[in-house]
Amino acid sequence: MFPKLHTLITCLSISLISLFGQDADTTMTEEEVGGREMYTSVDIAYTQDQGNTDFLSLYGGFDFSLMGDLGPISDTEFLISYYRTDDRLDGDPFTDDASLLLMFDMWANQRVSPFLFAQSTFDKTVGLNQRFNYGIGAKAKLLKGFSLSYAFLAESEDYEKYDFFQYNDSIGVEYYSYTDSMFIGEYNYDSAVVTPEEYYYYDMFYETWDAAYWDGTFDENGDSVFVFYDYDSTLVDGYWGYMGDSTLIGEYFYYTDSTEKKSGGKEKFFRHSIRPKFKVKLFDENLVFDYRFYFKPKVGDWEDYLLEHELKISIATFYELLTIDLNYTDKYNSRFDVNNGGQDIINPLTLTPYKERDKSLILGLSFSF
Task: With cut-offs at 50, 70 and 90, classify the pLDDT of residue 118.
Answer: very high
Residue 66's nearest CA partner among 55, 57, 75, 58 is 75
Residue 226's nearest CA partner among 213, 242, 245, 241 is 213
Pair 149, 136: CB distance under 8 Å: no
Averaged pLDDT for residues 102-127: 89
pLDDT recorded at residue 174: 63
Residue 9's nearest CA partner among 102, 81, 78 is 102
Residues in the chain: 369
Q: What is the dihedral of CA 321, 323, 328, 333, to 10 degrees?
A: 0
Q: pLDDT digits over 203-247, tens only?
A: 444 444 455 656 677 777 777 776 666 666 666 676 666 666 666
What are the helix and strand counts (H, E) for the chain? Answer: 1, 17
Strand runs labelled E in 195-223: 202-203, 208-218
Backbone angles phi, psi at 124, to 5 degrees: -70, -25
State how far the alpha carbon of 80 is from the alpha carbons of 116, 245, 301, in Å. 13, 76, 31
Pair 154, 168: CB distance under 8 Å: no
Task: Assess whether pLDDT exceeds 70 at residue 50.
Answer: yes
Backbone Cα Rg of the chain: 38
pLDDT recorded at residue 184: 66
Task: Assess whether pLDDT exceeds 50 at residue 51.
Answer: yes
Helix (H, G, I), strand (E, B) or coil at 13: helix
DSSP conformation letters of 153-180: EEEEEEEEEEEEEEEEEEEEEEEEEEEE
* Average per-residue pLDDT for the chain: 76
pLDDT recorded at residue 187: 62
Task: With cut-offs at 50, 70 and 90, classify the pLDDT of residue 37.
Answer: confident
Task: With cut-offs at 50, 70 and 90, classify the pLDDT of residue 276.
Answer: very high
Percent over 90 (pLDDT), the chain: 33
How many Cβ atoms from other residues are within 10 Å of residue 302's Cβ? 11
From CA 13, how far away is CA 99, in angstroms rounded? 19
Q: How many CA atoms lie within 13 A of 222 on its CB side?
A: 0
pLDDT recorded at residue 17: 32
Averaged pLDDT for residues 64-70: 85
Task: Assess whether pLDDT exceeds 60 at residue 16.
Answer: no
Task: Assess whether pLDDT exceeds 70 at residue 264.
Answer: no
pLDDT recorded at residue 126: 85
Averaged pLDDT for residues 24-40: 57
Range picked from 104-113, 115-124, 235-244 for highest mean pLDDT: 115-124
Between these two residues, 261 and 1, which has the higher pLDDT value?
A: 261
Task: Assess whether pLDDT exceeds 70 at residue 269.
Answer: yes
Would you say domain 5-158+264-322 falls under CATH 2.40.160?
yes
Task: Assess whether pLDDT exceeds 50 at residue 19.
Answer: no
Residue 2's nearest CA partner among 125, 127, 131 is 131
Q: pLDDT digits over 144-187, tens only?
A: 889 999 999 999 999 887 765 555 556 666 666 666 666 566 66
pLDDT recorded at residue 327: 93
Task: Assess whether pLDDT exceeds 90 at residue 326.
Answer: yes
Task: Assess whether pLDDT exceeds 80 at residue 278.
Answer: yes
Q: pLDDT digits over 351-364, tens only?
A: 778 888 989 898 98
* Domain boundaries, given as residue ranges, for the chain: 5-158+264-322
User: pTM for this structure?
Assistant: 0.60
Between these two residues, 288 and 224, which has the higher pLDDT value?
A: 288
How many Cβ atoms from other residues are within 10 Å of residue 338's Cβ? 11
Task: With cut-offs at 50, 70 and 90, classify the pLDDT of residue 91.
Answer: confident
Pair 170, 256: CB distance under 8 Å: yes
Between these two residues, 171 and 330, which has the higher pLDDT value?
A: 330
pLDDT recorded at residue 149: 94
Which contacts qualify for 312-317: CB closer than 8 Å, 24 or more apart?
Answer: 312/288, 313/287, 313/288, 313/289, 314/27, 314/28, 314/287, 314/288, 314/290, 314/366, 315/286, 315/287, 316/285, 316/286, 316/287
State how far the alpha carbon of 261 is from the alpha carbons of 134, 165, 166, in Å. 30, 6, 7
Pair 19, 116: CB distance under 8 Å: yes
Averaged pLDDT for residues 109-121: 91
Q: How many CA atoms lie within 13 A of 140 on its CB side?
A: 5
Between these two residues, 6 and 78, which has the higher pLDDT value?
A: 78
pLDDT recorded at residue 220: 79
Averaged pLDDT for residues 278-295: 92
- Contact residues for 362 (Cβ-Cβ < 8 A; gap 6+): 325, 326, 327, 328
Q: How many CA atoms lie within 13 A of 332 on its CB side?
A: 15
